[in-house]
């Protein structure tokens, strides 16, 4: 799309057919200073966006094309909405061409190469870029993101989890060895590929834990909390599949000496200037529908006994947990207003 009289940034998207890619297209269609000029998909090469996704007919002339590094290198910034282990093979070439990169997968979320290889199965194809890459959680790394060439967009569960305990970690008021995170996600968090356990007859009217013996987002959360605190952190993280399409809720059980009133004051002060994170009124419980299709995180605080705080954190896994946060990072990296083009308000019902 053309924006007259504006110095529009040229954006590329690698992998535009998954749920995250479609969300990127939806949000960038209304971004006043960014145009998607290159959209890749091997499976849909030559297909027009408006034919594959009629509700995105704003893109009247944009079509999917086969991946081409020369075309991508002509962009100001490229977003990788691809599986793990794709961006790390191409990011170096794009950076050399002065094109900035955001990876929405896990290739650049870890500073520790050995930990990444243990979590995702090595070897890492671009270990020399891990030190440069910035973890794309603006509420923690805003200044670094604004100067970054390469950003690893956080996972959806880690986003909700890190924000849930961030004030406690920064204040040194959390026992980093006893944190328990109980996560619940809608089915879109597993992606768009066909899977038996995600068809309607299997997922509807059903609820279960998965990867209880260890999920890849557990090490990511622990690594990020270690980076923030400067002390080694371990977490017990168990995800669950909810019979709904989108949304994540994290219930965190945190050991702390703070009273509920002290914790509330700490959280309200920490997030007072964060436009996308809200601490809800005392006694209320955040619901996933409160953040649906928005880039918001909403947090509730509770206490049943001294020494432990219960925190509930909700986000939309496809927006703040993926595409919306990526655009937030894109704005920072390109010197645009951080909130530009970002859906800050949910849809209801």
Helix and strand totals (H; E) in the chain: 11, 13
Residues 145, 329 contacting (CB under 8 angstroms)? yes
**Which residue carries 């923690």 as its tokens?**
140
The DSSP letter of residue 285 is -
Q: Are 14 and 78 in contact (CB under 8 A)?
A: yes
CA dihedral angle for residue 324, residue 326, residue 329, residue 334, rounded to 10 degrees: -110
Helix extents (H) in 97-235: 113-120, 138-146, 156-170, 200-203, 217-229
Residue among 1, 33, 79, 64 at smallest CA distance from 323: 79
Is 139:133 a contact under the CB 8 Å cutoff? no
Distance (Å, whole) CA 286 – CA 284: 7
Catalytic-labelled residue, pool 38, 75, 156, 297: 156
| DSSP label at residue 17 | S
Q: What angle do CA 239, 249, 19 make, to 5 degrees?
A: 80
* Residue 156 a catalytic site member: yes
* CA–CA dist 266, 254 (Å, integer): 15
Instruction: Give the strand pairing for 208-209 and 297-302.
Output: unpaired
Residue position matching structure tokens 């204040």: 171
State the catalytic residues. Answer: 156
């Amino acid at each position: 799309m053309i924006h007259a009289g504006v110095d529009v940034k040229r954006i590329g998207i690698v992998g535009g057919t998954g749920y995250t890619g479609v969300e990127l297209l939806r949000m960038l269609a209304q971004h006043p200073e960014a145009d998607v000029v290159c959209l890749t998909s091997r499976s849909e090469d030559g297909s027009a966006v408006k034919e594959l996704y009629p509700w995105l007919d704003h893109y009247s002339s944009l079509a999917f094309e086969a991946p081409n590094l020369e075309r991508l290198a002509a962009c100001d910034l490229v977003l990788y909405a691809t599986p793990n282990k794709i961006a790390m093979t191409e990011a170096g070439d794009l950076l050399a061409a002065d094109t900035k990169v955001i990876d929405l997968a896990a290739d650049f979320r870890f500073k520790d190469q050995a930990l990444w290889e243990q979590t995702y199965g090595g070897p890492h194809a671009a270990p020399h870029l891990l030190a440069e890459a910035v973890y794309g959680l603006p509420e923690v790394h805003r200044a670094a993101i604004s100067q970054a060439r390469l950003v690893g967009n956080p996972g959806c569960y880690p986003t909700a989890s890190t924000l849930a305990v961030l004030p406690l970690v920064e204040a040194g008021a959390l026992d980093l060895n006893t944190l328990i995170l109980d996560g619940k996600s809608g089915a879109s968090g597993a992606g768009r590929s066909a899977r038996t356990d995600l068809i309607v007859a299997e997922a509807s009217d059903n609820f279960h834990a998965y990867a209880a013996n260890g999920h890849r987002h557990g090490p990511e959360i622990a690594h990020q909390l270690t980076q923030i605190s400067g002390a080694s952190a371990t977490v017990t993280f168990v995800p669950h599949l909810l019979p709904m399409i989108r949304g994540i809720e994290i219930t965190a059980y945190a050991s702390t000496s703070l009273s509920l009133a002290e914790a509330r004051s700490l959280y309200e002060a920490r997030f007072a200037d964060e436009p996308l994170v809200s601490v809800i009124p005392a006694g209320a419980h955040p619901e996933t529908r409160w953040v649906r299709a928005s880039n918001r995180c909403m947090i509730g605080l509770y206490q049943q006994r001294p020494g432990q705080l219960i925190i509930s954190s909700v986000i939309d896994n496809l927006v703040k947990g993926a595409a919306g946060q990526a655009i937030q990072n894109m704005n920072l990296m390109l010197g645009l207003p951080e909130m530009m083009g970002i859906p800050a308000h949910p849809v209801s019902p």
